[in-house]
Structure 1
Amino acid sequence: MAERNSGRTLGSRQLAAMLPAPAGARPAYRHLAQAISTLILDGRIALHVRLPAERELATALDISRATVTAVYDLLRESGYAHSRQGSGTWTALPQGRTPSGITRLLGPQDTAIDLARAAPVLPEQLLADALAQIAPQLCEHAHTPGYHPYGLPELRAAVADRFSRRGLATVPEQILVTSGAQHALTLVMGLLCSPGDRVMVENPSYPNALDAMRRARLRTVSVPVTDTGWDIEITESTLRQVVPQLSYLIPDFHNPTGCLMPDEERARIVRAAQRSGTWLVVDETLADLALDVPTAPPFASHATPGGSGQVITIGSMSKTHWGGLRIGWLRAPSRLVTELAGQRVATDMGGSVLDQLLALDLLGRARELLPTRLAHLHEQRAALAEALAGHIPQWTWHLPAGGLSLWVDLGEPIASALAERALEYGVRIESGSRFATDPGIFEQRLRIPYTTPPDTLREAVHRMATALADGLPLPSATRRPHWIA
């Protein structure tokens, strides 16, 4: 493996920036080895990548070379690295261990209340009714080859009509059906970006998107999103000075802050991106989950005539319907859609016809189903806010106008320690640092979804309050994060 990947090397300064400072009585070498192994499991350090030379890493970390030697020895002993004479030390996956990305997808294997994923469930009866409705159509498709690299034509038309009804005229040729929004983003990056390209992202942002960029070896340049929203001057300046190849934005009930970008700021970003030649990838997965305000028009509708070609809109049904329905889409110029379909065929010749027919049926019932979904979210958001105010009044948050979660300020950098202790009390939740573009920030934050029933949310808050009152452990570099949705 080393020879095949000989061009992939992790720089010493890059690795040093990802590692926490040694703390407590734990030996420094063991602390660092555990941190590196966690980064490997979590995918933030790729497999089969050459680690920095011992002397270089020692200099970057300002520690002795003997300590780095002990770190690498421990990584080799535990199976997270291997070495060959003259080839260096390479990252590896120990026998029997599974990357965290897979374990997150598998979900909790215990009875803990899961607040690590902001994902709704689909009512069983609704699913059964929809499956019964599409059964005859599926039988008709069984007489065809079943390959639809662009997506089922009827579904493409339905998604296009959805954009048109929201104020952005769209034809089916501008739509590519994908296996979720994450798949759409990966296709776009694969076609438009090369390793080393700069990508502008929000900070904080959606962790799975950030992970995809790291795996694609892109260089992220972050712009802040605070409780009050985007700093539009910094965003415009970054587009002008950095000239990124691509920018990934979540303007509708931003994940995790819940902010909604004003129309005038959307228009300014579109103009700035057109001037810099930057592709805008706009994630509208949460756009329909407007609880207190009208649904915003599509971001691309703010482009000047002829300028919407620089805006690629991605979305999915995972937040409005169910994560298990792996249906997403992207809207782009028809020529780019054709190129992306060619990119897609190399690894995935088309999505499941069954899933696409099911998605088509559910989209057709949107006016019936969405109000019920929003009513439940209203009730759950109120229950979570009430429970937090009652049990942990020192925490603060801004109530979002939509979306699926609260971005809670704990007042002190204890998020990782609290998440570790909360698991012992039967609550699975992630530190705000998982949403950061750079290590060591947002440790004072938790993203708390309100996607579970009110009584479950009240019990989860009660358990977290108990964990907080009982005292917190020192942060551990060994705790493995769970999948973020």
Structure 2
Amino acid sequence: MSDALLGTRALRSLLGDWKDGGGPLYQALFDRIRLLVLDGRIPAGTRLPAERELAQALEVSRTLVTSAYRELREGGYTTSVRGSGSVTRVPGRAHLAVDAEGGFLDFTKAVMPASPGIALATQQSMDDFGRYLQGPGYNFEGIPELRDAVAARYTARGLPTSREQILVTTGAQAAIALLSRVLLSRGDRALVELPSYPHAYEALALAGARLVPVSVTPGEGWDESALEQLMRRTTPAVGYLMPDFHNPTGESMSDELRERTIDQAMRAGTTLLIDETSGELDIDREGSYLPFAAYATPGDERSVVSIGSVGKTIWDGLRVGWIRAEPGLIRTLAAARPASDLGTPVLEQLIVTRMLDDMPAILEGRREQLRAGRDRLQQLVATGFPEWSAPPVVGGIASWVALGSPVSSQLALAARAEGLLITAGPRFGLDGALERFLRIPLGCPIAQLEQGMDALGRAWQAIMRNPVPGAQAFGDVA
């Protein structure tokens, strides 16, 4: 039985300009729904609208919709369930590029393998864990040990911080969602980068924000004049920015731009949400940068809220993040938190507390991993993909590769047939833009990177021979 019904209005919105692909319209409708299923925007197990209802909503014949649904069924993208109509599914494929367990090789997540030392830190944390079993496990601010450790890490990096300025969260995404819910009202504007982290877009939009984008271009960075004008003209309630090793472009703000951005935010009454989850993943960047909030003049720091986590540095399986802000906001966030979650698991907090003591050594190891991935990717692109451009990055988790043609979603779709999952460019943008780009992660083992690039090479040749009609404007889930 289907888990959920997708209404005709919702499907029509997802379809967009589905008639623009050329060829028979039933084929165009089939292709568009197929892409929506494969990229997860229509989840598996979703019941599609009835043929007659969809035909009326799209102002086409029922025969056209029937033909498209037949193609979906024969292609394995839907099943017919008595009493439920057409229910979506993801068909099985020949997995030509596979991971160690025989499944799809996954490039949708720009993460690295677990840092050495987690198992030992877990064992050592068990003694500390016993102390917490005598009391309640809920702690909205986070355990004192971890709050102190995070504060000490900021202080060591040049930003004096106290425990009262730290709230521990269940990863960075939980921090973004909590801040969005507390700081935004429906209809408020939120300044965002384009491209950017897609789940931040979603959290801000769910809080009712209207997103106002400013472009970030590989090799050029932020559109500084547009950033200043948007801040002044739209007076956004919040601005979500990644000033260090921006995801996905890898760009970093200059000292001067950081100072100007904070000053502009103060004038506009904007709270800056600074995502620093990749901020310490330096490879070979010239010079060093302080945490963003350190660039604020006394009194202006309240305009800067910092977001961090260990997902990119230690391991994404440790769902521990944090918010650094002035104590009054921390208390407000802690009071609002129970509506969404009741605290971060205590054992994971204890593990991270121990791991933070070893951050210099951990970061050195990550630096070597990312350098090897970056250098090998540039070699592979230069030798095997003459149409592509992989700009040199000096840090961060991914390369924002220019394809030379607006075919990113087609390429991501074709890569699935080769056993590779990868996120298409539009997933990092708004309204289907960024089809000329593809994000390729740098932190996976070199053998997996090479295997994935081989799969991309086969997919690239396939779409050059036979482009998929109407595939633009869709991207995989990050």
Task: Tell me, yes or no, if the aligned pair for 1:34 and 1:478 is still in contact at 8 Å.
Answer: no
Q: What SS class does the counterpart of residue 439 from structure 2 fall into?
A: strand
Partner AA of 2:307 in structure 1: I
Which residue identity is paired with 1:23? G
Q: d(CA) in 1 for partners of 2:316 and 2:431?
A: 27
Alpha-carbon spacing, 1:16–1:153, altered in 2? closer, same or farther (3 Å) = closer
Deviations 1:84-108 (A, max 9, x none): xxxxxxxx9987879xxxxxxxx99
Q: For residue 238 of structure 1, what is the aligned residue in structure 2? A: 230
Equivalences for residues 38-437 of structure 1 within 5 A: 42=41, 65-66=59-60, 111-123=103-115, 126-227=117-218, 228-293=220-285, 294-437=287-430
Q: What residue in structure 2 maps to residue 30 of structure 1?
A: 29
Runs of 4+ in structure 1 over 3 Å off: 9-12, 14-22, 28-33, 35-41, 64-72, 92-98, 107-110, 475-483
Deviations 1:337-372 (A, max 9, x none): 101011112232211000100111111111222211
Q: Distance in 2 between matches of 1:65 and 1:16?
A: 16
Aligned to 1:85: none
- Is 1:442 the equivalent of 2:434? yes
The correspondence for 1:460, drawn from 446, 452, 460, is 452
Q: Once the two structures are superposed, what CA deviation does each residue of 1:428-468 show, in whole Å capped at 9, x if it has no partner?
A: 212111111222x2111110011111122122222222322
Q: CA deviation at 1:183?
A: 0.4
Identify if the C-alpha distance between structure 1 residues 269 and 140 changes in structure 2 by more than 3 Å, giving closer, same or farther.
same
Question: Residues 3-31 of structure 1: CA distance to partner in whole angstroms, max 9, x if unpaired?
Answer: xxxxxx9899x948954443233426835
Q: Identity of counterpart residues, as a percentage? A: 36
Q: Is the 8 A contact 1:31 1:477 kept in 2?
A: no
Aligned length: 442
Tell me the TM-score normalized by structure 2: 0.83
- SS of the residue corresponding to residue 214 of structure 2 reads strand
Unpaired runs of at least 5, structure 2:
1-7, 47-52, 79-83, 91-98
Paired residue type of 2:367: L
Letter aligned with residue 145 of structure 1: P
| 254 and 33 in structure 1: CA distance in 2 versus 1, 3 angstrom threshold | closer
- Any idea what the Cα deviations from partners look like across 1:398-448, whole Å, max 9, x if unmatched? 211100111111101111111111222222212111111222x21111100
Secondary structure at the residue paired with 2:448?
Answer: helix
Task: Write out per-residue CA displacement over residues 212-268 of structure 1, whole angstroms, 9 at most, x where no aligned residue.
Answer: 223333211111111110011100100100111111001111001110111101111
**2:412/2:475 contact within 8 Å kept:** no
Distance 1:126 1:477 in 2: 44
Q: Which amino acid aligns with 2:200?
A: A
Q: Letter of the aligned partner of 1:370 in structure 2?
A: L
Question: More displaced, 410-419 or 110-119?
Answer: 110-119
Is this contact kept in 2: 1:224–1:231, CA < 8 A? Answer: yes
What amino acid is the match of 1:443? E
Letter aligned with residue 193 of structure 1: L
Question: Which secondary structure does the structure 2 equivalent of 1:200 belong to?
Answer: strand
Give RMSD over aligned pairs. 3.6
TM-score by length of 1: 0.81
Distance 1:119 1:297 in 2: 23
CA deviation profile, 1:289-308 (whole Å, cap 9, x unmatched): 01112542111112121111
Amino acid at match of 2:443: T
Aligned to 2:49: none
